[in-house]
Structure 1
C-alpha cells in the first residue's frame, strides 16, 4: 500500500506499508528510508505500534533523533571529522561537537530514496554523489526491506563505489516493545557478545576491546536494561547514564540479541552478519518529544544498530568499513517479533 504522507520542498513524501498474514504491518517512508511504524500483536492479540515515529514530515525534519532512518555513509562517530585513505585526508562535517556523526549534516536519513514495491518487499535506492558530505566516490546504494510471514523484517544493504571510500550502513529504529511513553527499564536484553568497545566522554570508541565478564555490559544471560541505568560507572556516565556502546558479536547461526518485554510478551530477536551491535538505550531522550502516543521519557526506547565499529577507520590500517571499486558492500540483518 502506498499513500501520500506530505510534501517537502514541493516534493511528495510517500509512505509504503507492507503486511503479512499474522497482523504485522511495517510502514516506511521514501524520506530517509524511515521505518515509521511497525504494528504487531502482543500475547493477547492486541495490536499496537512498537517503534517511535512522527505523524508529519515537518516533525522529522525539525526534531527527529534519527527515528527509524537509514544511516550512512558512515554510522556512528568519526573522530575529528577526518579520516585517511591511501595517504589522503578527507574532512567531513563536524555535526556532533568536534566529531562527525551518522553521515553528516545531511546524511542518508535526510534524502529522498527511489522505492519499488513488490508485494511484501520494498527496494530503496539512491546514488550518493562524489564528495557528498566530504566522502570520496560516487556510491550507489540499495536497501531492501522484506516482511515475512514469521514476523521477520529482513534488511539487506548493498553498495558499490567509483573510488575507495568508507561505507558503514545501519538502521536507527527506536524499539519499544511495551507501551510507547514508558521506559524500557523493565525489558530484558540478551546478547551473544563477550566484549564491548569502551567510549570516551564524547562517545568516540577508544579502539579497545573489553571483556564483558564482571561488568554492567554482560548481557550473555537475560538482564533487565534498567540495572545499568544511572549506575556509578564511568562508561555509563560517558553515555549520559545508559548504554551507547558497540558490542562485538559472536559468530553464530543463532540470533545474536534478544529483547523481551514481560508485560506484552513481545520478543524481538536480532540476527546479522555485521560484526558489531551498537546498543543505544535512549539516554538523550528527555521528554521534549511528543508523539501521537504521548511524551517520550529518557530510556523511552532502545536502538539495536548492526554495523561495523564506529571510527574504526581511524584506529586500524585495514578497516572493514573501507570499500574499493569492484567490491560490493553487503550486510543483512533480520529483526523478528514474536510473542510468548
Structure 2
C-alpha cells in the first residue's frame, strides 16, 4: 500500500499518489482527478498509459489525462439542456459546447480517499447542487481494483435530484513502452455504428453504419492506416474522435488493442465508447521526460451517447434520487511469449 506526495496544486493544496499491486500489474492513482497515473504491465515490462511525474503536469500540460470525467463526459451541445421542464445553462468551454463537465469538472477536483488496500483504492467526490450548473447534489465513488491481469474501474453514483451523469476514465493508452506511439498497434471495437460529428466536434444524433467505411473496426485494423485515410469525418477531428455505439448489453468485451505479443482487452457495461486518437495531444515533457505528440496514444472512453441529455431517442443518462447507479469498465492484459 505505497503512497506518497504528488506535488502541490496551484491553490496550495497537496496531492498524493496511491499504489496497488499484484503479481501481474502495478497501478498508481492520484487523488487529484481520481487519475490513473500509471498502469505497469509486469509481463510486458511497460507502462500502458501516459502520465506525468508530478501533479502540475495534469494541471498545466494535458488536461483530462487519465482522470475521471464528470458529471457528463464528452460534449453537451450549446451548453444547455432541459430536464423536468427546467432549462439548465452550463459553462461553454469547447466551441460553444460544454465539454467533460464544464469549466472545472471532476478531473480538476481533489477527491477524498475512502479506502486503500494492497489491491484496491476507493476515492469519493461530493459535487454540490448547482456545481457547474447541474442540478442535485451528486456523490460519486470510484474504485480501482486488481484481479490477476485485469484492472477494473467501478463507479457508484447517487443524487438528491434528477441529473445527467455519464462518467468515464480518460486514460491515454500506448503499448509501445517508453516512447509512446501507435505504430504497429491494431484496434478492434465491437460496434456496428458510430455517431457523426458536426463541424464543432459535437456528436450528432445521426449515426453511420460502419460497414464498408474506414470506421469499421469489428475486425482488427492498423491504427496508423486508419489515420492515413481521407474522410470528411476524420478531417473534422484530425483523426478518430468518435462515439462507437457498442453491441451487446451488460458487462462484456467491447474492444481490444494489440501490439506485437501484448493484447489489451477493454470490457464494459456501458452502451457507448468514444475512441480518441490523441489528435490534440501536445506536451513537451511527460513522464520520465518523454514528449507526448498527436497520435501517440488512444483513449477508450466508455460512456453514454454524447449529448444524450438532449436526445430522447438515446439511452438516458439521467440519474434519479433513490437509485445508486453502478458501472464498470476494465482493462485486461495478455502477454504472449515471444519466440
Q: Over aligned residues, Cα RMSD in angstroms?
A: 1.6
8 Å Cα contact 2:71/2:100 also seen in 1: yes
Q: Which residue of 2 aligns with 1:82?
A: 80
8 Å Cα contact 1:180/1:293 also seen in 2: no
Deviation at 1:336, TM superposition (A): 0.7
Q: Which residue of 2 aligns with 1:249?
A: 246
Q: Which residue of 1 aligns with 2:161?
A: 163
8 Å Cα contact 2:197/2:233 also seen in 1: yes
Distance 1:227 1:10 in 2: 45
Deviation at 1:169, TM superposition (A): 0.2
Q: Which residue among 291, 301, 323 is the counterpart of 1:305?
A: 301
Distance 1:317 1:189 in 2: 29
Q: Which residue of 2 aligns with 1:273?
A: 269
Q: Which residue among 6, 13, 17 is the counterpart of 2:19?
A: 17
Q: Which residue of 2 aligns with 1:282?
A: 278
Q: Which residue of 1 aligns with 2:133?
A: 134
Q: Secondary structure, in 3 states, of the residue corresponding to 1:226?
A: helix
8 Å Cα contact 2:53/2:286 also seen in 1: no
Deviation at 1:11, TM superposition (A): 2.2
Change (3 A) 1:289 1:235: farther
Change (3 A) 1:318 1:220: closer
Change (3 A) 1:244 1:160: same
Deviation at 1:17, TM superposition (A): 0.5
Distance 1:267 1:46 in 2: 10
8 Å Cα contact 1:34/1:68 also seen in 2: yes
Q: Which residue among 318, 331, 334 is the counterpart of 1:338?
A: 334
Q: Which residue of 2 aligns with 1:227?
A: 225
TM-score, normalisation: structure 1: 0.94
Flag structure 1 segments of 5+ consecutive residues without an equivalent.
none
Distance 1:280 1:99 in 2: 18
Deviation at 1:285, TM superposition (A): 1.9
Flag structure 2 segments of 5+ consecutive residues without an equivalent.
none
| Counterpart mapping for 1:1-340 below 5 A | 1-8=2-9, 9-22=11-24, 24-41=25-42, 45=43, 47-115=45-113, 116-149=115-148, 151-240=149-238, 242-251=239-248, 254-262=252-260, 265-286=261-282, 288-316=284-312, 319-340=315-336
Superposed CA offset, 1:209-257 (max 9, x none):
22110001111111101111142201101111x1010101111664111
8 Å Cα contact 2:252/2:268 also seen in 1: no
Change (3 A) 1:86 1:291: same
Change (3 A) 1:287 1:106: closer
Superposed CA offset, 1:86-144 (max 9, x none):
11110111111211000011100011111121220111111100000110100011111
Q: Secondary structure, in 3 states, of the residue corresponding to 1:97?
A: coil
Q: Secondary structure, in 3 states, of the residue corresponding to 1:219?
A: coil
Q: Secondary structure, in 3 states, of the residue corresponding to 1:296?
A: coil
8 Å Cα contact 1:17/1:26 also seen in 2: yes
8 Å Cα contact 2:62/2:283 also seen in 1: no
